[in-house]
Amino acid sequence: MSKYASKYERRDRDESPREYTKKPKDDMIFGVRSVIEAIRAGRGFNKILIQKGMDKELFLELKEELKGHHFQLQFVPTEKLNALTESNHQGVIALVSPIEYHKIEEVVEGLLAEEKKPFILALDRITDIRNFGAIARTAECEGVDAILIPNKGSAQVTADAVKTSAGALNRIKVCKADNFKESLFYIQQCGVRLIACTEKGNVPLYETNFRGSVCVIMGSEMDGITSDLIKMADIKCKIPMRGEIASLNVSVAAGMVMYEKLRQELH
């Protein structure tokens, strides 16, 4: 059973041959030289798709430029690249992020320097764009300072996500972590309490102290929060329920948790 995601939301695996759909050209940059220049210009990418068996000389040039960066790379068949654009992509397409990603270390240090109490929302492998967008919308409304997501295995900030968030993703800082656990440990060492919202929790939501500096962790739609993250959390809270399904959509659960923090601080 998933944590805060109905089992009826799970998608069956599509056993039919994969069909690749075209993306709007504004969402991507293609061609080795164009991608290299975009990297040098500091553009943000959700992912860089590289053709399997790409021309060695071109690949080495791109590989050299990627040194020192932590972009998500995915090696794909040429059919996928051809489906995304009819132009000469030279074996590489970069999917552009509509926002600028931030570093969680800089965000936390900045908040502490201003003597503010950080309120961070950490999303552990939430993959549904609609859930991600809905959570971001509520987060902006409830005063969250930043959202932390893994670099891999998580929904990225796309034009659809921004639309679902009603523009909130343009107003709230989103941070990517190459090592999600290490980033959470850093946050914890800065004096920010980690609160994991999970059905394995032992403290009811309404008895949990959300005042002050906190980082709330919400888990994936499929299997909730990673066990290692639950273990390192300072508090493990749960949302009381009476129904037979005994699980909630993750965006609904996140909204309840964020509201509870705001309620406590207003009283």
25-96 CATH choice from 3.40.50.300, 3.40.50.2000, 3.40.50.150, 3.30.1330.30: 3.30.1330.30
Every domain of the chain and the residues it spans: 25-96, 100-266
Question: Beta strands 28-30 and 73-76: pairing type?
Answer: unpaired
Chain position carrying tokens 């059919």: 79
Do residues 97 and 156 lie in contact, with contact meaning Cβ atoms separated by under 8 Å?
Answer: yes
Can you give the pLDDT of all 267 residues of the chain as single tens digits? 444 444 333 334 444 455 555 555 558 888 888 888 888 887 788 889 999 888 777 788 888 888 878 788 889 998 988 888 888 888 899 988 888 889 999 999 999 999 999 999 999 999 999 999 999 999 999 999 999 999 888 988 888 899 999 999 999 999 999 899 999 999 999 999 999 999 889 999 999 999 999 999 999 988 899 999 999 999 999 999 888 887 889 999 999 999 999 999 998
Homologous superfamily of 100-266? SPOUT methyltransferase, trefoil knot domain (3.40.1280.10)
Per-residue pLDDT at 2? 44
Chain position carrying tokens 């888990």: 219
